[in-house]
Amino acid sequence: MSIYLTTFLVSLGISTALGVIIVIADKLLSNYGECTITINDDKQVVVEGGNSLMSSLFEKKYFIPSACGGKGTCGYCMVKLPDEDIPLLPTEEIVMAEKDVNAGWRLACQIKVKKNMSVWMPEEYFMIKEFHCRVAKTETIAADIKEIELEMIEPDSIEFKAGQYIQVMVPSVGETVYRSYSISSHPGNCKSLFLNIKLEDKGIGSTYLHKLKVGDTVNISGPYGDFLLTGSNRQAVFVAGGVGLAPINSILHQIFQDNIDRKCLVYFKVKLEEEFYYLEQLSQWKEKYANFSYKLVVSDIPETESFDSGERARITKVLEDDFQKISESEFYLCGAPKMINGIMEYFDKKGIPSDRVFYDKFE
């Protein structure tokens, strides 16, 4: 046996042994036993210590807004810990506003339950419910995008606002994980809701949902979110990146079905032309409503391919070309963080006040 192979095997054995020791040590050191969480001074739950505060509360059917699946990148799962002195974590420093930190808010997905603790959360969190649903429809509507209708079983109806989202409880190896998806349908239909799901590479939630068949059952919680239409009379400019069209579609349904008199312009941006969907609906709205218009934008289409239905450019370039006629608008942005961050930087340079910009980042 060569000395190189011997050295490799010895190193492999040491690494394996160290890995086993680390796993055992983690199990022993992380065994915090049962811990009691007191919620808003008048509710108590007993949980197994060592898990995140968010997952511990979810297990007991206390649901907290989250859009990133507990990765600490969305900053939505904020609660207060009135009796705790836990140093602010680097993950929290990145996403939390200084004013929220100073007010005592923390990210529930980043805080570990290691002992008895108290937590305070807004009253609206207690309105969030768990729903047992049946898949009533699943249809491919664009490249790697499915429209899925979930019919409410128990409870048999759901009340939500246009622009809100739900969390799907996804069975995974030895646990349940939670993934957030915006509701695409109008809230006037409380017996079911529609989702637009893009299949993501190695995406646990999207893979699970894309495999569902009519008749399968799903558990969700909701509704969540405050990406809502304001009562302003300003022109509403919507920028949808890919399946970021979902909550915007819901808001547009609200505008048209509730006869809200407001000028609307949609920029629907995708990377490739085959990712567009709901184009027939957008076209019908444009023909029917004088105050509605839309533009299609593609960013990554090869120069060798033709595209005559819209713009071939970065979304900020298209916004710049139209800036004079949209500068006094309210803006609603929904899609990938990279797109939204780029638009926000552009708006900041152009002097658009932040109180006229609303966004929903799909983490």
Specify the CATH number for 34-125; select among 3.40.50.410, 3.10.20.30, 2.60.120.10, 3.40.50.10490.
3.10.20.30
Per-residue model confidence as pLDDT tens for the chain (363 residues): 444 444 434 443 444 444 444 444 444 456 789 999 999 999 999 999 999 999 999 999 999 998 887 888 888 899 999 988 889 999 999 999 999 999 999 999 999 999 999 999 999 899 899 999 999 999 999 999 999 999 999 999 999 999 999 999 999 887 888 999 999 999 988 999 999 999 999 899 999 999 999 999 999 999 999 999 999 999 999 999 999 999 999 999 999 999 999 999 999 999 989 999 999 999 999 999 999 999 999 987 666 577 778 788 899 999 999 999 999 999 999 999 999 999 999 999 999 999 999 999 887
Question: Which CATH number fits the domain 128-224, given the four candidates 2.60.120.380, 2.60.40.10, 3.40.50.10860, 2.40.30.10?
Answer: 2.40.30.10
**What token pair was written down for 108?**
């529930």
Range(s) for CATH 3.40.50.80 in the chain?
236-361
**E-only strand ranges, 242-344:** 264-270, 292-298, 311-312, 330-335
Q: Which residue has the tokens 């036993």?
A: 33
Task: Measure CA 26 to chain center.
Answer: 31
- What pLDDT was estimated at residue 193? 96
Residue-level pLDDT at 8:
38
- Collapsing DSSP to helix, strand or coil, 230 comes out as coil
Q: Are strands 175-182 and 165-172 parallel, antiparallel or unpaired?
A: antiparallel
Q: What is the per-residue pLDDT for 302? A: 64
Q: Where are the beta strands (DSSP E) in 155-259?
A: 165-172, 175-182, 192-198, 217-224, 236-241
pLDDT for 303: 65
DSSP per-residue string spanning 80-135: E-TT---PPPHHHHHHS-HHHHHTTEEETTT-B--S-EEEB--GGGGG-EEEEEEE
pLDDT of amino acid 207: 96
Q: Tokens standing for 360?
A: 């929903």
d(CA 131, CA 327): 41
Maximal CA-CA distance, the chain: 82
Q: Tell me, letter by letter, the H, E, C secondary structure of 12-37.
A: HHHHHHHHHHHHHHHHHHCCCCEEEE
Q: Is 39 left (phi over 0), alpha (psi -120 to 50) or beta?
A: beta
Give start-end residues of each CATH 2.40.30.10 domain in the chain: 128-224
Which H or E run contains 272? none
What CATH topology corresponds to 236-361? Answer: Rossmann fold (3.40.50)
